[in-house]
Amino acid sequence: MHGFKFYEKATRTFRDRSLLSKILIIGTVSGGGLVALSDSGTFQNINGGSAQECKKKKVVVLGTGWAGTSFLKNLKDKSYEVQVVSPRNYFAFTPLLPSVTNGTVEARSIVEPIRNIMMKKGMEVQFKEAECYKIDPDKQKIHCRTTGSSNLGGKEEFALDYDILIVAMGARANTFNTPGVVENAHFLKEVEDAQRIRRTVIDCFERASLPSLTDEERKRILHFVVVGGGPTGVEFAAELHDFVVEDLPKLYPTVKDFAKITLLEAGDNILSMFDKRITAFAENKFKRDGIDLKMGSMVVKVSDKEISTKDRITGQLSSIPYGMVVWSTGIGTRPVITDFMKQIGQANRRVLATDEWLRVEGYNNIYALGDCATINQRRVVEDVSAIFSKADKNNTGKLNLKDFQEVVEDICERYPQVELYLKKKQMKTIDALLKNAVGDPKMEAMELDIEKFTNALSEVDSQMKFLPATAQVAAQEGAYLADCFNRFEHCEKYPEGPLRFRGTGRHRFHPFRYKHFGQFAPLGGEQAATQLPGDWVSIGHSSQWLWYSVYARFSPLCSKQVSWRTRYLVVNDWGRRFIFGRDSSRI
Amino acid sequence: MHGFKFYEKATRTFRDRSLLSKILIIGTVSGGGLVALSDSGTFQNINGGSAQECKKKKVVVLGTGWAGTSFLKNLKDKSYEVQVVSPRNYFAFTPLLPSVTNGTVEARSIVEPIRNIMMKKGMEVQFKEAECYKIDPDKQKIHCRTTGSSNLGGKEEFALDYDILIVAMGARANTFNTPGVVENAHFLKEVEDAQRIRRTVIDCFERASLPSLTDEERKRILHFVVVGGGPTGVEFAAELHDFVVEDLPKLYPTVKDFAKITLLEAGDNILSMFDKRITAFAENKFKRDGIDLKMGSMVVKVSDKEISTKDRITGQLSSIPYGMVVWSTGIGTRPVITDFMKQIGQANRRVLATDEWLRVEGYNNIYALGDCATINQRRVVEDVSAIFSKADKNNTGKLNLKDFQEVVEDICERYPQVELYLKKKQMKTIDALLKNAVGDPKMEAMELDIEKFTNALSEVDSQMKFLPATAQVAAQEGAYLADCFNRFEHCEKYPEGPLRFRGTGRHRFHPFRYKHFGQFAPLGGEQAATQLPGDWVSIGHSSQWLWYSVYARFSPLCSKQVSWRTRYLVVNDWGRRFIFGRDSSRI
């Protein structure tokens, strides 16, 4: 054998080193560079069966999205036997999905295998790649089957028992039963959707380049329609515009002038959940870019080549020929959740309701979080007599200020709408509210009966808010729930929550409280809009850089959710795109 | 708007710079790093129509594999109007396909969009994403249709006229009509095949992890069978073994012991085209690794769960349950080529035959190269009288040494088997061959008649060789043909080829001659085997490093074929795999 002394030495060095040394070597070989550390973690066998196991509580987690993964990542207590069931064996960083549709970021860079996450925990966690199609809360069982995407033919079915069930299955795209949407439109919820859209865009350009077509046909095929002006739709339209303007004209010079993007929005504005300045900026930018914005357009039908709309005001119907439609109008409930809701008496609800501790109403051992559920806040008006009698310790039928001050913190924690109401009315404390109700006596001598107390609180429920169905909310819910699970025994002994107004003692945990860190909307052309809490708005190139750096480094939104591996890959992708442009291979 | 002075400045700097500066900036920001330059190239509009165009010859290239792409990359003469037709709008660096099956390298890293390549040429090149389903050599037309993978529904059909046709459509996997192969086995010829195999491997592990299966079932699902012990099959088995041993046990601890790889080979050895030392090393390594090698096993049937084999010697039939079969037993002819062969009277051939200038026999304006064609070398025995009379200028019926020496170079060029025969017989020049034939007279006085001349050359045809169907051959053929096209007019005036023995004058070009640069066979575990010309063999870790560096830098095999972008991405992938391991997400 002929020798390559240098190579052999280098190889030996490589094989003998630890991970850290490998990184250093690679760093040196590559002359420095963008190199990140992977989370290190030792593997622990989760297969062994000890006697202690029998006592462990079986926790089944349904779903590996933001909520489920966040729960898994934050769970530390080893006294649970955790099983995760999901048709996807990975977590996907969904805010970057629109970037995947044009190759700014690769699909594989935004996913993290769930088994990697589990492995690093060194806990008893098992994963089953399957879809839960039925929840049986009475028998404490879920029924699952493998998904159709399997190459192995046939569907495998099985059931799992649980002691505690965590439902975090997310939502599906909402078509509002519009005919033809499922058959003809693309959604943008899963990684596969983004990959399919990317292939379709290239397909449209390739197809339009064929010699046998008329220019009319070319125009149709290169007409991209986005339905829905929310953050996903807007970001996708912006990314698509960048792709179509920056990369494709060079490659498809003969057809580039036929390409057009239209955004249909049923409301009056795009990005209506953002500050008006952002909405205006985005609309102007889109108009300058030549993206056709059609407000007040409700889609009534999608055929294979045409999309039919109805003007919300004039009622006028019109048809637009298209090559690709991306449907992004919000979320709907999955069939398995609808079925579960029927079983537990929530048939008339739009979405699965939980209490403030994320427990499905009526079931102490079923939690629901993320997009598949919503927190059904308790109304003050329903509990007002319970609150009164709890505060009125001596049963005098009157509350004085001292009585009240003892429970005020608990009220504010249990009913967050009280605080929001005060804020809205620009009152500093609840005292002012009561003062208003009794008509300004001296505070010290103030006394309220139940009637006045009810009056004082009668309007606070108007400030109840539903949390938006965002990744941020889901991730915080998952982390919150894991934290409760981690401290279950401790809090059993030393409950830390507010007073149980309708029962005795205190709640075991603080109720879930969402902390809003702000919202990004990338608008294409290296520009983005940011809205942070406190009316802090930033728009333009600086925001895009903020987005890059927030994502890559110090984001409180995602720091726990995103591994170093994913970060490295995404930053790498951005660099690659910057140097080489986006790839137009149809794979 | 709140200001981020730093970000804004940085953004402005980015937007205002050229590509090179961008790379420098990224390099600086990332502290150096693995950064490569992309080929720069200015875009030229290929759409305009000038009067001169009418005179341009229409060249249609079918296929974007090694042969077609190599032709395109090397074509410089702007007097052709080139149209490329292929169902794949990219070139794929196929030697890395086995690495894609387990994520050592990403699919997108080994492809290069054909339109990028064309754009950089600044030539009149057009691409049509379609499949040619019929060649009509009489009307000089090809018929095409779009492929089924389109999201746009319906098939578009069109025809193209050509003045010159270049057939470089490659081959398809050869199933030898074994029942069930197409339905149940995976091939490894296209990028999509590799991606599908990757998903299937993960699928098998996920499926085996489900609770409802018996251990027998688990064993079946995790049994991976590779059919064919050629370089592709061996490399795939090795890569799969690395994946199954290095990455998956940590993630699938409960089922890891069920996994098994079997390699079935109908012959007596794997890698039979390599040196015996390499074959022995590979077989030993596979045995140590626990890969089950079954020699002399011919597959007779593949059902959905079992593969049936017959022992070549004993004739014994047996059935093996499997989870995934990868079929890699060689190549067959595509239907469109078979049909074309029937039209041009080559129906009884196995593969499309061309002459030594890559022209399809009988058609001066159709060339065929790569795996879809083979060079049908002219036999000396057929031309011996023509050679004799050409050499015998004075028609004396006798050849003396001087006559002969005038044509000897042409003979050796036109009939390369002569040189191979001399080498085999350890003769230095053709004189020795003739000397043998006439029975050792004095060289100077030697004279041969036609009979003796025929005797002398009677055995040389035994040394005719068919070229292997490899990427190296295809790439060299493409480059050769482009070179001929580039110098067509010059060589028309000043022909550079050998004498036309059966005609007058000289051939326009030198015939195609293959130059073998050696062969690699990665064997897994950072080991590889290399066989270079001149019996130079290297096996082991050093070879793997040779493979890395040959690929990444200075390979004469692929230096022209592979762009800096692809190189950067692949090296990047290797680094990523090295640090983070392979990704097991099923996408």
SS (H, E, C) A15-73: HHCCHHHHHHHHHHHCCECCCCCCCCCCCCCCCCCCHHHHHCEEEEEECCCHHHHHHHH
Scanning every residue of chain A, which has its alpha carbon at the shortest distance from the alpha carbon of B38?
A580
Average pLDDT over residues A366-386: 91
pLDDT at B549 over 80: no
Please answer yes or no on whether B22 and A323 come within 8 Å at the CB atom.
Answer: no
Closest to B232 (Cα-Cα) out of B204, B193, B258, B285: B193
pLDDT at A23 over 90: no
* pTM of structure: 0.85
Neighboring chain A residues of B4 at a CB cutoff of 8 Å: 538, 542-543, 545-546
Please answer yes or no on whether B210 and A250 come within 8 Å at the CB atom.
Answer: no
CA dist A231 and A237 (Å) reads 10
Which candidate in A127, A152, A187 is best for mutational testing of the B interface (most B CBs within 10 A)? Answer: A152
The answer to whether residue A500 is domain-embedded is: no
Q: Mind listing the pLDDT tens digit for each residue in B491-534?
A: 989 999 998 988 888 999 999 999 888 777 788 877 888 887 77
Cβ–Cβ contact A579 with B under 8 A: yes
Of B194 and A110, the one with more pLDDT: B194
pLDDT at B79 over 80: yes
The answer to whether residue A46 is domain-embedded is: no
Neighboring chain A residues of B324 at a CB cutoff of 8 Å: 151
Residues A262-283 as b/e (b if ≥16 CB within 10 A, e otherwise) read bbbbbeebbbeebbeebbebbb
pLDDT at A499 over 80: yes
CB A199 within 8 A of CB A354: no
- Alpha-carbon distance A6 to nearest alpha carbon in chain B (angstroms): 8
pLDDT at B41: 35
pLDDT at B310 over 60: yes
CA dist A95 and A548 (Å) reads 12
Instruction: Report how many Cβ contacts below 8 Å link chain A to chain B.
Output: 280
CA dist A206 and B127 (Å) reads 8
Average pLDDT over residues B171-175: 93
Q: Which of B129, B578, B586 sits opposite A89 (nearest CB)?
A: B586
The answer to whether residue B550 is domain-embedded is: no
pLDDT at B562: 65
Cβ–Cβ contact A158 with B under 8 A: yes
The answer to whether residue B188 is domain-embedded is: yes
pLDDT at B555: 46
Q: Looking at chain B from residue 352 to 391, which residues have their Cβ under 8 Å from any Cβ of chain A?
A: none
> Are residues A59 and A27 both part of a single domain?
no
- Tokens 């401290």 correspond to what residue? A487
> Are residues B315 and B453 both part of a single domain?
no
Least reliable range by pLDDT among B294-308, B364-378, B541-555 = B541-555
Instruction: Band the pLDDT of A14: cuts 50, 70, 90.
Output: very low
* Token representation of residue B66: 């090694």
Neighboring chain A residues of B112 at a CB cutoff of 8 Å: 585
Burial of B122 (0-12, 13-18, 19+ CB in 10 A): middle
Cβ–Cβ contact A110 with B under 8 A: no
CB A506 within 8 A of CB A499: yes
> Are residues A317 and A446 both part of a single domain?
no
Instruction: Report strand pairing: A164-167 vs A366-368.
Output: parallel
Neighboring chain A residues of B87 at a CB cutoff of 8 Å: none
- Tokens 């959604």 correspond to what residue? A187
Largest CA distance in chain B: 102
CA dist A551 and A559 (Å) reads 8
> Are residues B318 and B387 both part of a single domain?
no
CA dist B558 and A188 (Å) reads 39
Cβ–Cβ contact B558 with A under 8 A: no
- Alpha-carbon distance A161 to nearest alpha carbon in chain B (angstroms): 12
Please answer yes or no on whether A203 and B10 come within 8 Å at the CB atom.
Answer: no
Q: Which of B158, B203, B542 sits opposite A3 (nearest CB)?
A: B542
The answer to whether residue B341 is domain-embedded is: no
pLDDT at A534 over 60: yes
Average pLDDT over residues B427-443: 72
> Got the DSSP string for A273-314?
TS-HHHHHHHHHHHHHHT-EEEETEEEEEE-SSEEEEEETTT
Provide the mean pLDDT of chain A. Answer: 83
Average pLDDT over residues B454-470: 84
Q: Mind listing the pLDDT tens digit for each residue in A334-351?
A: 999 999 999 999 999 989
pLDDT at A434 over 80: no
> Are residues A220 and A295 both part of a single domain?
yes
The answer to whether residue B439 is domain-embedded is: yes
* Token representation of residue A221: 């095929």
Cβ–Cβ contact A119 with B under 8 A: yes
Estimate the share of chain B in helix, then strand, then coil, as percent rounded to the nearest 5: 40, 20, 40
> Are residues B297 and B387 both part of a single domain?
no
Cβ–Cβ contact B269 with A under 8 A: no
- Tokens 């890699």 correspond to what residue? B328
Which candidate in A207, A305, A326, A567 is best for mutational testing of the B interface (most B CBs within 10 A)? Answer: A207
Cβ–Cβ contact A122 with B under 8 A: no
Q: Which of B2, B47, B538 sits opposite A1 (nearest CB)?
A: B538
Average pLDDT over residues B7-25: 44
pLDDT at B345 over 90: yes
The one-character DSSP state at A123 is S
CB A118 within 8 A of CB A563: no
Please answer yes or no on whether A539 and B1 come within 8 Å at the CB atom.
Answer: yes
Q: Looking at chain B from residue 226 to 265, which residues have their Cβ under 8 Å from any Cβ of chain A?
A: 250-254
Please answer yes or no on whether B22 and A578 come within 8 Å at the CB atom.
Answer: yes
Cβ–Cβ contact A48 with B under 8 A: no
**Which of A457-461, A517-521, B113-117 shows the highest mean pLDDT?**
B113-117
Please answer yes or no on whether B587 and A192 come within 8 Å at the CB atom.
Answer: yes
Q: How many CB atoms lie within 10 A of CB A123?
A: 18
Q: Mind listing the pLDDT tens digit for each residue in A162-185?
A: 999 999 999 999 999 999 999 999
Please answer yes or no on whether A211 and B158 come within 8 Å at the CB atom.
Answer: yes
- Tokens 């060589």 correspond to what residue? B491
pLDDT at A150: 57
Average pLDDT over residues B325-329: 95
Tell me, what CATH number does B277's domain have? 3.50.50.100
Estimate the share of chain A in helix, then strand, then coil, as percent rounded to the nearest 5: 40, 20, 35
pLDDT at B287: 93
Q: How many CB atoms lie within 10 A of CB A54?
A: 8
Neighboring chain B residues of A113 at a CB cutoff of 8 Å: 251, 583-585
CB A61 within 8 A of CB A68: yes
Of B80 and B393, the one with more pLDDT: B80
Scanning every residue of chain B, which has its alpha carbon at the shortest distance from the alpha carbon of A116?
B251
Residue A203, classed as helix, strand or coil, is helix
pLDDT at B405: 81
- CA-CA distances (angstroms) from residue A257 to A127, A206, A222, A286, B89? 49, 14, 9, 18, 21
The answer to whether residue A471 is domain-embedded is: no
Please answer yes or no on whether B211 and A160 come within 8 Å at the CB atom.
Answer: yes
What SS3 string covers A409-473? Answer: HHHHHHCHHHHHHHHHCCCCCHHHHHHHHHCCCCHHHCEECHHHHHHHHCCHHHHCCCCCCCHHH
Q: Mind listing the pLDDT tens digit for each residue in A226-242?
A: 999 998 999 999 999 99
Instruction: Band the pLDDT of A555: cuts 50, 70, 90.
Output: very low
Please answer yes or no on whether A4 and B538 come within 8 Å at the CB atom.
Answer: yes
Largest CA distance in chain A: 101
Scanning every residue of chain A, which has its alpha carbon at the shortest distance from the alpha carbon of B532?
A2
ipTM over cut 0.90? no
Scanning every residue of chain A, which has its alpha carbon at the shortest distance from the alpha carbon of B39?
A580
- Tokens 């409802």 correspond to what residue? B212
pLDDT at B364 over 70: yes
pLDDT at A223: 97
- Number of structural domains, chain B? 3
CA dist A545 and A262 (Å) reads 27
Q: Which of B26, B149, B212 sits opposite A157 (nearest CB)?
A: B212
Boundary of a domain, candidates A442, A463, A484: A463
Closest to A43 (Cα-Cα) out of A116, A129, A114: A116
- Alpha-carbon distance A397 to nearest alpha carbon in chain B (angstroms): 54
Scanning every residue of chain A, which has its alpha carbon at the shortest distance from the alpha carbon of B584?
A113
- Alpha-carbon distance A476 to nearest alpha carbon in chain B (angstroms): 24
CA dist A263 and A279 (Å) reads 14
> Are residues B391 and B293 both part of a single domain?
no
Instruction: Tell me which residue range forms the domain holding B396.
Output: 380-460
Least reliable range by pLDDT among A258-267, B65-74, B111-120, B294-303 = B111-120
> Are residues B303 and B410 both part of a single domain?
no
> Are residues A216 and A320 both part of a single domain?
yes
Cβ–Cβ contact B217 with A under 8 A: no
Neighboring chain A residues of B546 at a CB cutoff of 8 Å: 4, 7
Q: Mind listing the pLDDT tens digit for each residue in B240-282?
A: 999 998 889 988 999 989 999 999 999 999 998 888 988 999 9
Average pLDDT over residues A112-117: 89
> Are residues B310 and B190 both part of a single domain?
yes
pLDDT at A577: 75
Average pLDDT over residues A411-430: 84
> Are residues A12 and A115 both part of a single domain?
no
pLDDT at B28: 35
> Are residues B297 and B217 both part of a single domain?
yes
Residue B135, classed as helix, strand or coil, is strand
Sign of the dihedral defined by the CA atoms of residues B111, B114, B115, B119, in that order? positive
CA dist A514 and A416 (Å) reads 11
Tell me, what CATH number does A409's domain have? 1.10.238
CA dist B134 and B398 (Å) reads 51
Provide the mean pLDDT of chain B. Answer: 83
pLDDT at B22 over 80: no
The one-character DSSP state at B529 is E
CA dist B239 and A390 (Å) reads 69
* Token representation of residue A16: 């003998």
Instruction: Band the pLDDT of B539: cuts 50, 70, 90.
Output: confident
Cβ–Cβ contact A303 with B under 8 A: no
Cβ–Cβ contact A316 with B under 8 A: no
Q: Which of A2, A153, A539 sits opposite B536 (nearest CB)?
A: A2
The answer to whether residue B346 is domain-embedded is: no
Please answer yes or no on whether B4 and A538 come within 8 Å at the CB atom.
Answer: yes
The one-character DSSP state at B190 is S
Cβ–Cβ contact B341 with A under 8 A: no
Residue A347 neighbours by CB under 8 Å, 6+ apart = A341
Which candidate in B4, B223, B578 is best for mutational testing of the A interface (most A CBs within 10 A)? Answer: B4
A141 φ, ψ to 5°? -140, 145
Scanning every residue of chain A, which has its alpha carbon at the shortest distance from the alpha carbon of B18?
A579
CA dist B356 and B354 (Å) reads 7
Sign of the dihedral defined by the CA atoms of residues B25, B28, B29, B30, in that order? positive
B542 φ, ψ to 5°? -60, -40
Run of H or E including B374 = strand B373-375
Average pLDDT over residues B217-234: 94
Cβ–Cβ contact A214 with B under 8 A: no
